[in-house]
Amino acid sequence: MSAPFRIAVLASGTGTNLQALIDAISAGDLAVEIAGVFSDKAKAFALERARGAGIATTVVPPKRFATREAHDEAFFAAVDGASADLIVCAGYMRIITAAQIERRPNRMINLHPSLLPAFKGLHTHQQALDAGAIEHGASVHIVTADLDDGPVLAQARVPVLPGDTAGTLAARVQAVEHPLLVETVRMLAEGHLRLAPDGPHLNGAPLPAPLQLGANRRLA
């Protein structure tokens, strides 16, 4: 039997997307092993979710280090110890230094709450409302040295409704974030999606456009 596909999950907050991965694994819908959960915040609830599922956790607080570079060096040394096939940023709120990304080309993905390339950075739901967007959503992309700028693998779309606030829009997006991340990781683990030096591939050919999450919660 082949070894299981291993992922390391980076998280700074409540860990709802981590929980979606845990639940999919438990239900038999996702054949991967979470090799570890890594955080920059000791009180991140994501760590409690991981411990409750019997997953190893590691915290590397930035305040212990004089520079962002020194913190990232220690943080990613710990991540490398998990021997993961893929690093999944699921609510990891620190900007990763370029040197660490460049050492791990095409091994890191990030879930971002917008339809990239629109609304990079923080407060994306308010950004969408301020721009008068009629559609919003979430994207999974390859992590590169430029913020929220790597090739997009998959997206999930939701309408922006009259009377929406940043909070109501965030809740609608979060409902599709979970299956979007699970399905993207599943396709990577099964080899349908591959992160290649010349860009992402789908079933052996260059991915022509981001995959879209359908009403059946599958990517196409």
DSSP state of 42: T
User: What whole-number distance in Å separates Cα of residue 109 and Cα of residue 170?
Assistant: 21
Q: Which helix (H) or strand (E) holds 149?
A: none
Gyration radius of the chain's alpha carbons: 17
pLDDT for the residue numbered 67: 97
Report in angstroms the alpha-carbon separations of 153 from 40, 98, 208, 219: 26, 21, 10, 10
The DSSP-derived string for 164-200 is: --HHHHHHHHHHHHHHHHHHHHHHHHTTSEEEETTEE
125 an active-site residue? no
216 three-state secondary structure: coil
Q: Which helix (H) or strand (E) holds 84?
A: none
Locate the domains of the chain by residue range.
5-212
The torsion of the CA quartet 101, 184, 121, 151, rounded to 10 degrees, works out to 60
Helix axes 166-189, 16-26, angle to 10 degrees: 40
pTM of the predicted model, to two decimals? 0.96
CATH number, domain 5-212:
3.40.50.170
Q: Which is catalytic among the residues 71, 112, 136, 178?
A: 112
Contacts of 14 (CB under 8 A, 6+ apart): 44, 45, 46, 91
pLDDT for the residue numbered 1: 58
pLDDT for the residue numbered 3: 83
List beta partners, residue 200. 195
Helical segments of the chain, H only: 16-26, 45-52, 68-80, 98-103, 124-130, 166-189
Q: Do 106 and 196 touch, CB atoms closer than 8 A?
A: yes
DSSP state of 41: -
pLDDT for the residue numbered 147: 93
For the stretch 37-86, pLDDT in tens is 999 999 999 999 999 999 999 999 999 999 999 999 999 999 999 999 99
**pLDDT tens, per residue, the chain with 220 residues:** 578 999 999 999 999 999 999 999 999 999 999 999 999 999 999 999 999 999 999 999 999 999 999 999 999 999 999 999 999 999 999 999 999 999 999 999 999 999 999 999 999 999 999 999 999 999 999 999 999 999 999 999 999 999 999 999 999 999 999 999 999 999 999 999 999 999 999 999 999 999 999 999 999 9
CA nearest neighbour of 116 among 98, 96, 133: 133
Peptide bond into 197 cis (omega under 30): no
